[in-house]
Structure 1
Amino acid sequence: MWVLAVVWFSGVLIRAEAQGTASFWRGNDRSGRCQYSFTVDSPTEASCPLPGSSPEVEALKSRLALLEVLVAHLAGGETGPGPAPRLQEAYTQALSEKTQLQREKDRLGQRVEELQRRVEELQQEAERLRSRPCAQPPPPSTPLYDNRPSPAGGSGGTALSHLSSRPGRTPGDTSSLRDPSWHSGSPGYQELKAEVAKIPAPSPEDADDTKGCGELLSVGEPFTHRKTDTISGKYGVWMQDPEAVSPYGPGMVWRIDTVGNEVRQIFGYEDLQQLSRGFPTKVLLLPEAVESTGAAMFRGSLYYQRRRSRTLLRYDLASESVAARRDLPHAGFHGQFPYSWGGYTDIDFAVDEQGLWVIYSTNKARGAIVISLLDHHNLEVKRSWETNIRKTTVANAFMICGRLYTVASYSSLNTTVNYSFDTATGVSKAVAIPFKNRHRYNSMIDYNPGQRKLFAWDNHHLVSYDVRLGKPQ
């Protein structure tokens, strides 16, 4: 029996060694009996699966155990600082910062509204000051008393030297005089009345001509009426008719945005306030496209150049049709002789106290500015003048009282009106009148004799300038 056991054990041991690894163990079991155990590694299995299980199931159980641990951490199942408290703290801080930023935004919005209201008030105040007539200088000083001795033997000048004139007092009314030196029975009073009555009025030659014509003395600061809100409003032309006729009044404002190939719309506004609000009351569709910013309004008609031609058109606003057309002889067009800023500004209409003009150039003039006075009914050229300044070297030009004026730069903030030509005498001269391009791209400057202002289109902004005329000092 023992021999068989030894043989069996030897065979098992030899087989285990043949497979690579084996181990033997001997010990008593729970009942105290001696028990032999052999361990041999399986050549195909890494572990012994339990009944009804598989490696995939065991791996899944391990993953589930890891997930349970992670969920316990997130739910605060373990003590100590974990991810959840830190996330909650960061979220609370973010909400607090958001609330502070919202309060700051609301405060800044209120500040912006206050500044906008202040700007509007300042603009209204500036407009009111501009519309108020300037105070005239006092007349030359004249003695308000007679230095001759009074009939009573006293000096009338001594008695009445500090007597002030009171406006609104009727002759003989002494009730408003409260001067302590006044004596109703003094005969010097009659002499004083005579002296005051003889004070001469200021001579018109000594003051600027505020109604008639004269040379340009100064140009005021630009006042912005509106800023356009689209790319098509970068440059254009806006105007008022200085001699408006029915059905439109003198307050009507007209505007054309000249950015585009087929510019045919003209927008009408009842007045400057309506223009500033941006809501036109009339929109007209021109029968032929407009070329550039040289249009003008005069006596109920729009005058403009037809696109890509030297043809001048008169568009009657009442009938909404073309009333006259004429080619401008030898005039350059579509980029031959523009102003320095470009924009096909070869032909430029202008209006002043003497009527309708056109500013252009020709090959014969070799690019020098030519001025022609037109018949505003049929566009016939009545007379022309050739100047000695090249059109492409100036930013823009306008007419005032039969004189041509040019502006040196369209983009410099501080530039000048640098040249004038008088059609009455044929004399030209250099001038240096300060002019400001506040928005640095001035594409249109025209004079309105009815308003005595310059209208300009400066980089999306519709602006105007007050001008002062008179005799040079």
Structure 2
Amino acid sequence: MKLAAFVSLWALFSLTLQAAPRDKCTCELNLPEKAFPHGKLQTVEGNATDCNIHVTPQKALELESLLLGLEKRLTQLHSDVSILEEENDGELYGVLSLFIIENEMVEIRQLMEKLNSTTVEHQVLTADTVQQLEDLKIKMIELEKFDTMEVVKGRKVNKRLKSALETCRGGVNANVAPTPPPYGTCQRGPLRNVTGPGVNTQGEFSGNYAYGAWGRDPKPEARKESWYWVVPLTSSQFANYVRFYSSLSALIIGVSNPGNIQIASSNPTTNTIQGPNNVLYGGALYYNCYNQDAVCRFNLTTKSVTSLQLPKGTRYNSKGNFCHLEDCYVYTDLDLATDESGVWVVYTTTQALGNLVLSKVEETEPPKLGKTWHTSVYKRSVTNTFMACGILYATRYIDANVDEVFYSLDTMTGMENFKVGIIINKVSSNIFSLNYSPVDQMLYAFCDAKMVSYKALFG
């Protein structure tokens, strides 16, 4: 018994000596995936940053500025050469004119050289950028292989699902009216010119009514797309009906169908039209309510009148008229206007110190005043205003033959421009109302009892 116990202890002692503990323990870890190439990712990020630095909007702006400068200098050169050709002063000023033209040609040559060098630089930059983008695309595809958890792939799938969901929603809600574009949105661009006059007629009135308004409904009711309307101011500066014509030829020869639609029983009285600056939109006539600082809307179908009260301090009753140096157009305190987005009203207030104020008229029942813009142009220095593509344009009197569109306000940006410089050739001295119709891009003017149209050119 003792001998067996001794042998067991001896065996344990021997094993202990043979399996002495080691000082260090090491192990190997073999991963099936390759290490992520952080260096390659940093290279891609660096190349992308370089692209953003070298390709900037200022590059395109520089080229555009050179082209505009060249265009202006060429126009000036053409004008100076024309003056030189007409000069007949015994060579007194001919040498000076030639010297001016020579300097202009030197400037044009320098601009051409700069333009050519800039164009070459842009071509090289474009080629380099395209190659860099191709390289970046290849490297990003390679880096996606390290996305073992398929995060990038999942994001792509989510993006496709969102796109499919939006398409599905669009199909389900196909009959829902789209969100109206913001004011100022117009594919035609800003106004570039006004040509005409085109139509020039007194219709059936034979010059009896100097003041009035006419035009087309930008949002006509069904089967009234070709109709024209006229509001001749028949008593002092008031009217109590609107007159319709089935076509332009019917208006010119004076055949009214369906005839007059009466607004009020007498003239002037409650709901009477006051002043010539009226417009028709969506089957309703908008005008200055008689003896009020408010806009009236007469619904042609229901024969009902609703009104929109303008802000406190609005000038009315011929106290905030359109004017020029020789005369003022009475009862032109409120100017209603139409364009692609609806109805607008132009007026002035004591708070605005007589400057033009523009407000959007919202088509609610009753109508409401929408967003308002304040300008820095004095209303009594203006002869007319009109809206086109969300831009307010103002005219001024030059002489008996010409008015000028000199001012604009972009309602999208709030930017004012006092150098529009578009000429309107008149058939008579005064244009008492002027309104734009987006249906045919025409301006409709009422000029000393004559109905005159002009073509508005955009681009």
Task: Return the TM-score normalized by structure 1.
Answer: 0.53
- In terms of mean alpha carbon deviation, does 337-346 or 388-397 score higher? 337-346
CA deviations 1:48-94 (Å, max 9, x no partner) are xxxxxxxxxxxxxxxxxxxxxxxxxxxxxxxxxxxxxxxxxxxxxxx
User: Does structure 1 residue 314 correspond to structure 2 residue 297?
Assistant: yes
Candidates 219, 222, 230, aligned match of 1:255: 230
CA deviations 1:16-56 (Å, max 9, x no partner) are xxxxxxxxxxxxxxxxxxxxxxxxxxxxxxxxxxxxxxxxx
User: Does structure 1 residue 329 correspond to structure 2 residue 311?
Assistant: yes
| 4+ residue runs over 3 A deviation | 228-232
Unaligned runs of 5+ in 1: 1-210
Question: What displacement does 1:360 show?
Answer: 0.5
Q: Aligned partners of 2:403 and 2:206: how far apart in 1?
A: 27
**CA contact 1:237–1:293 (8 Å) conserved in 2:** yes
**Partner amino acid for 1:423?**
T
Candidates 290, 304, 308, aligned match of 2:287: 304
Q: Which residue of 1 aligns with 2:404?
A: 416
Q: Which residue of 2 aligns with 1:235?
A: 211
**CA contact 2:428–2:448 (8 Å) conserved in 1:** yes
Q: Aligned partners of 1:410 and 1:346: how far apart in 2?
A: 21
Q: Which residue of 2 aligns with 1:353?
A: 340
Q: Which residue of 2 aligns with 1:407?
A: 395
Q: How is 1:98-177 mapped onto 2 (pairs within 5 angstroms)?
A: none
**Partner amino acid for 1:236?**
G
Q: Which residue of 1 aligns with 2:263?
A: 286
Q: Aligned partners of 1:314 and 1:217: how far apart in 2?
A: 32
CA deviations 1:273-307 (Å, max 9, x no partner) are 10001121121111321111111111111111111
> 1 or 2, which has the higher helix percentage?
2
**Partner amino acid for 1:343?**
V
Q: CA 1:315–1:252 in 2, change beyond 3 Å: closer, same or farther?
A: same
Q: CA 1:399–1:299 in 2, change beyond 3 Å: closer, same or farther?
A: same
CA deviations 1:316-344 (Å, max 9, x no partner) are 1112222x212111221111211113221
Question: What displacement does 1:232 show?
Answer: 3.5
Q: Work out the percentage of aligned pairs sharing the same amino acid.
A: 26
**CA contact 2:322–2:379 (8 Å) conserved in 1:** yes
**CA contact 1:410–1:443 (8 Å) conserved in 2:** no
Q: Aligned partners of 1:353 and 1:326: how far apart in 2?
A: 21
Question: What displacement does 1:272 show?
Answer: 0.5
Q: Aligned partners of 2:378 and 2:208: how far apart in 1?
A: 29
SS across alignment from 1:442: coil
Unaligned runs of 5+ in 2: 1-185, 265-270
Q: Which residue of 2 aligns with 1:24?
A: none
Q: Which residue of 2 aligns with 1:274?
A: 250
Q: Which residue of 2 aligns with 1:103?
A: none
Q: Aligned partners of 1:448 and 1:260: how far apart in 2?
A: 27
User: Does structure 1 residue 426 correspond to structure 2 residue 402?
Assistant: no
SS across alignment from 1:274: helix
Q: Which residue of 1 aligns with 2:376?
A: 388
Question: What displacement does 1:435 show?
Answer: 1.2
CA deviations 1:117-162 (Å, max 9, x no partner) are xxxxxxxxxxxxxxxxxxxxxxxxxxxxxxxxxxxxxxxxxxxxxx
Q: Aligned partners of 2:246 and 2:303: how far apart in 1?
A: 18
Q: Aligned partners of 1:283 and 1:332: how far apart in 2?
A: 30
Q: Which residue of 1 aligns with 2:189?
A: 214
Question: What displacement does 1:352 show?
Answer: 0.6
SS across alignment from 1:255: strand
**Partner amino acid for 1:328?**
L
Q: Mark the structure with the bigger radius of gyration.
A: 1
**CA contact 2:402–2:423 (8 Å) conserved in 1:** yes
Q: CA 1:332–1:410 in 2, change beyond 3 Å: closer, same or farther?
A: farther
**CA contact 2:201–2:451 (8 Å) conserved in 1:** yes
Task: Return the TM-score normalized by structure 2.
Answer: 0.54
CA deviations 1:257-279 (Å, max 9, x no partner) are 11414520211110101000112
Q: Aligned partners of 2:336 and 2:398: how far apart in 1?
A: 18
Larger RCO, structure (CA 8 Å, separation 6 or more): 2
**CA contact 2:398–2:404 (8 Å) conserved in 1:** no
